[in-house]
Chain A
């Protein structure tokens, strides 16, 4: 399967199943499209057929391009078949281990974000804090169910986890005490809105947290409209200086400022650039996921503008990179050389099996987005997984189980998308959230264009040298 697109002056050809990515001239771009069309019809692409279709090109040009295309095909870098389906089903049937927990340290929050999927931190339930005993049991559960997996991930999430930070500190200490005897390595991460952030928390996090996610939406008016404090007041001025300090203390690595854009800021590239202008170098800004009746929900009619915004952002990022003031945008990051294996790419996010969310009272859910929906309760850290049928439903969820994903070029990059989004829009984890898919595809294209442009620049610099 081939996916072709033109972006910022580059003709890009992705050979979806081999993972190869090519930049080609106009002639070859057309020849490859024609070749793919013929493949679909199971007919051969001959030079005569090409001459007939593209009279503007000469026979010699077409012969040359066709020869190159066929050479790449022979090398398995164009028109590679999809040979993974059986392997992935087998892989999914294997005995899985738990490798990551999202600990809901606090089901309470000091902000009143309008778009919060947790209902202002409370997850459709009562406010509550995770006790040390529950957290300790969760870490024991993780170690016990992690098999030979060495790297274990624990995210301190909420609500707002700094509202229960003493428990966070004690749990980190407890986790560290488990590492040597069990031959494990914990990677702790913290997601915070920053209101309670102080020097002591920063110092602790810089010592113990492999990554911190700092929530801010961008421009002051955008952030303050969607992320007001409980009393309705502005939060921007309170959090920005702390986040800047935090990022500096972390040497501008191993953190993300993370925002959400909504229908109220469809010009979100300005928010990303605003965060970059504030000095942040690791930025993630994602589209809100909300039901269509919410005024801030992204609608299908918004897609053209959002696509333009991603293009604008990609071009500006390239410009800044050239000027020596580049930054990372999480959703444009793509690893074309050391990226994940095909099993990882096709088998989904691991929710419900490798990745579980733990409520303050120890219940287990497939992920943080299912917490509070009783029908998705899997068990508890005390009793283990009880809803095995539900667990198996998640376990077998993969791109080949999803009709929409089977033939999508993005399936090797998004892994079939988010199960929670699929469920919330279609009532099934085997569907896909369509608006999310369109945006994901665009981000992949932009990410690849950036790689093409950087390679192009490097080549030009080498020629000059």
Chain B
């Protein structure tokens, strides 16, 4: 590919299958408390 460099090709769609286990951290328990930030959290699905 000459014109497009891909930083991530992660397709969110694939996370629909195994997603939603809920083991990940609640966003406000980290360091915000007055906003909502989920994009920086890590998936903890070990399945």
Binding site for B on A (CB under 8 A): 13, 17-25, 27-28, 64-65, 68-69, 72, 75-77, 80, 83-84, 87, 91, 94, 97, 99-100, 102, 117, 149-151, 153, 155, 187, 189, 191, 211, 213, 256, 258, 260, 282, 284, 286, 288-289, 330-331, 333-345, 348-351, 354-355, 367-369, 412-418, 420-421, 436, 440, 444, 447-448, 451-452, 455
B11 touches A455 (CB 8 A): no
A345 touches B7 (CB 8 A): no
B1-47 interface with A by 8 A CB criterion: 1-13, 15-16, 18-20, 22-45
Binding site for A on B (CB under 8 A): 1-13, 15-16, 18-20, 22-45
Chain B's closest residue to A433 (CB) is B35
B39 touches A335 (CB 8 A): yes
Q: Which residues from B are CB-within-8-Å of A87?
A: 16
Chain A min CB distance to B11 (Å): 5
Question: A83–B12 Cα gap in the complex (Å)?
Answer: 10
B15 touches A417 (CB 8 A): no
Question: A10–B9 Cα gap in the complex (Å)?
Answer: 18
SS class of chain B's interface: helix, strand, loop or mixed?
loop
A19 touches B45 (CB 8 A): no
Question: A418–B28 Cα gap in the complex (Å)?
Answer: 9
A21 touches B8 (CB 8 A): yes
Chain B min CB distance to A257 (Å): 9
Chain A min CB distance to B13 (Å): 7
Question: A195–B32 Cα gap in the complex (Å)?
Answer: 21
Question: A123–B43 Cα gap in the complex (Å)?
Answer: 34
A330 touches B33 (CB 8 A): no
A68 touches B4 (CB 8 A): yes
Q: Which residues from B are CB-within-8-Å of A355?
A: 26, 28-29
A191 touches B25 (CB 8 A): no
Report if A153-B39 is in contact (Cβ < 8 Å); known contacts: A258-B31, A330-B32: no
Question: A211–B31 Cα gap in the complex (Å)?
Answer: 9
A418 touches B34 (CB 8 A): yes
Chain B min CB distance to A391 (Å): 16
Partner of B26, one of A69, A80, A153, A284: A153
Apart from the given pairs A342-B15, A440-B35, 19 other A-B contacts in the complex at a CB distance below 8 Å: A18-B13, A22-B6, A24-B4, A25-B3, A27-B3, A65-B3, A68-B4, A77-B9, A102-B28, A153-B26, A282-B31, A286-B35, A337-B8, A341-B18, A354-B22, A413-B39, A418-B36, A421-B34, A448-B7
